Each structure stands twice: as structure tokens, then as C-alpha cells.
Amino acid sequence: MFAPMAQKKRKNKVNGVPMARLADKYTLYLDSVQSPDHEAQFFNRAYKKAFDRAPLILREDFCGTAAVCCEWVKNKPERRALGVDLDAEPLAWGRENNLTSLRERDRERITLLEADVRDIRGPKADVVAAQNFSFYCFKTREELRRYFRCAYRNMAREGVLVLDMLGGQETMEEDHEEIKKMKGYDYVFEQEWFDPITNNCRFWIHFRFPDGSEMKRVFGYEWRLWSIPEVRELLSEAGFAESLVYWEDTEKDTGEGSGTYRIRKKAESDPTWVAYIVARKQP
């Protein structure tokens, strides 16, 4: 684990103020966790694969700061986006920071709503997306199937639901940290506990700085770790015509993920994996 020296702590403080007190948690999250450009490109690619045309309307469920909505419409006058989230704080931050970075004519094509994603209907979207494992908040088959049915009703006649999933043996280890070094700080993903009877678990995100200060437990998640077969079965029960698994390619030299996802029917076991599920609505 990263352990800064005492001398470095003093050197890197800004006017004596710990770096953690000067940092913005949503800026750090966007930098370390999200890749809005990659997400928008993948949604476009997956939809074209399904229907051989470009999608226009995105609905981003659990949208947080709506960074993906902004990327979706940026410099694309034919596109519109709807972002839905239950938490007012990230929505407000997104309006003040992400939306204001766009030109006014692009901002006008984004709608943000503070609401339960299961309660909002319309407009019909070409792509409904639930990213960053957000649907793991639903812990029973009944709850998750209900969400999938809501997503289905909110899709256009030709539409796809895009989900990302996290799994592997290491995601079930208790008191385990994954650390990613970023420019000027460390991103820390902590797995606090996992219950093998229910598959319920708790994760935290921390940010650690070179001066030894830390933003601890900035974001917390209590999830059920769903498996890919469970999710695909529930999608089928909710009415989707088919679901495809996009598995990440591996770099031959390093053995690490390449960031490129391709349709797979089988995959090798990986201690920690991330995959996309793309479910197609029956036209």
C-alpha cells in the first residue's frame, strides 16, 4: 500500500492545508472512475451492431453528475439525452460543472430528473444505460426484474439496454483494496465485506494524496453481486429478445485488460472482471 514519507507530507501541502481538504470528490470520481467518451462510443457501437443505424436518444439511469449525457450530446445536434438519479447532490454538481462546459445549444438537449429510475416514463430512448454497476443496488430477483421491465417500457421500438457488470473471485474478498495510481493522488476501491449466503457486499471509494491526507469513504455502495447468467435470465423474463455479453480483451504483453470489448459466448476465469451486457428489445 502507498505510504508517503513524512518529509513528502510537509512538502506537498498547499499553504499548510492538507490536499484532501482542497480536492473535489466529483472531479476525482470523474477522473478516476468514469470514461464518458468511451461509454458514448460503446453505446453507439452496440446499437449499430443490433440495428444497423445510429442511435439518437440516450436515457442514462443512475446518471450521477450526467457526464455521459453531456458527452452524448456534445457537438451532435441530432442527439438528445435524459439523465435520472435519486440523489440531488450529484445532479446539482453536474448542472453546475458538466452542463456549463457545453455550448448552450447542446445543454438544451439534456434533461435531468431527480427521481427513482423506476418511476419515470418517456421519452422512448434508443439506448437505456445503467453504468458503474449501479443496478446492483437491487438485491432481489423481483426488484431487478421490475427495473428491467421499466427499462424495457422506456425504450423505443428498436432499443437496447446497456449494463456493465463486475465480478470475479477477488471481488468477494473481505478487507481488500485495489489501488490505482492517478496523477496527483491514489484511487482506492475497498471491498469491506461479502456475505456468500446472500451475495450482498459493501464497497468504499477513498482518495489518498502524496501529503498523507485522505478523503476516506467518499462514496459507499451496498450491493448484491449478481452473476451474468442471473442477469441474462432476468432480462429474458422481462421481455428482452436477446442479451449479448461483451467481454474485455486482454493485452498479450501485460495480461491486463485492453479496454476493448467483444461479443463472447465463453471466457476464461479472471480474478476480477468487468463486462457489458447488451439486451435488445424485440422490434
In the predicted structure, residue 122 carries a pLDDT above the cut 90: no
Residues 158 and 204 in one domain: no
Task: Name the band, by pLDDT with cuts 50, 70 and 90, for residue 17.
Answer: very high
Range of the domain at 97: 31-168+225-280
Q: Exposed (0-12), middle (13-18) or buried (19+): which is 173, by Cβ within 10 Å? A: middle
* Domain match, 235 and 256 both: yes
Residues 268 and 239 in one domain: yes
Judgement on whether residues 58 and 164 belong to the same structural domain of the protein: yes
> Residue 133 corresponds to which amino acid?
F
Q: How many CB atoms lie within 10 A of CB 127?
A: 26
Query: Looking at residue 4, what is its pLDDT?
Result: 33
Q: What are the grid coordinates assigned to 79, written together? A: 442527439
Does one domain contain both 142 and 41?
yes
Residue 259 pLDDT level (bands cut at 50, 70, 90):
confident
- The residue assigned the cell 464518458 is 36
Q: Quick one: cell of 105?
A: 445549444
Query: Which of 184, 205, 223 delimits the end of a domain?
Result: 223
Distance CA 77, CA 255 (A): 40
- Among 62, 33, 49, smallest CA distance to 151 is for 62
Residue owning grid cell 453504468: 131
Residue linked to cell 456549463: 100
C-alpha atoms less than 13 angstroms from C-alpha of 249 in its C-beta half-sphere: 9
- pLDDT bin (cut points 50, 70, 90) of residue 10 is very low
Residue 202 domain flag: yes
Q: Indicate the number of domains in the chain.
A: 2
137-158: pLDDT as tens digits = 999 999 999 999 999 999 999 9
The answer to whether position 125 is within a domain reads yes
Lowest model confidence (mean pLDDT) among 2-6, 66-70, 180-184: 2-6
Cβ partners under 8 Å of residue 74, min gap 6: 102, 106
Assess whether 86 and 158 both reside in one domain: yes
88 in any annotated domain = yes
| Same structural domain, 57 and 152 | yes
Q: Which three-class secondary structure string do you get for the chain? A: CCCCCHHHHHHHCECCECHHHHCCHHHHHHHHCCCHHHHHHHHHHHHHHHHCCCCCEEEEECCCCCHHHHHHHCCCCCCEEEEEECCHHHHHHHHHHHHHHCCHHHHCCEEEEECCCCCCCCCCEEEEEECCCHHHHCCCHHHHHHHHHHHHHCEEEEEEEEEEEEECHHHHCCCEEEEEEECCEEEEEEEEEEECCCCEEEEEEEEECCCCCEEEEEEEEEEECCCHHHHHHHHHHCCCCEEEEEEEEECCCCCCEEEEEEECCCCCCCCCEEEEEEEECCC
User: Among residues 204, 223, 242, which one ends one of the domains?
Assistant: 223
pLDDT of residue 282 exceeding 80: no
For residue 245, give the CATH number of its domain.
3.40.50.150
| pLDDT tens digits, 197-251 | 999 999 999 999 999 999 999 999 999 999 999 999 999 999 999 999 999 988 7
Asked if residue 1 belongs to a domain, the reply is no
Q: Do 133 and 44 have their domain in common?
A: yes
Tell whether 135 and 275 lie within a shared domain.
Answer: yes
* Claim to verify: residue 148 and residue 205 sit in the same structural domain: no
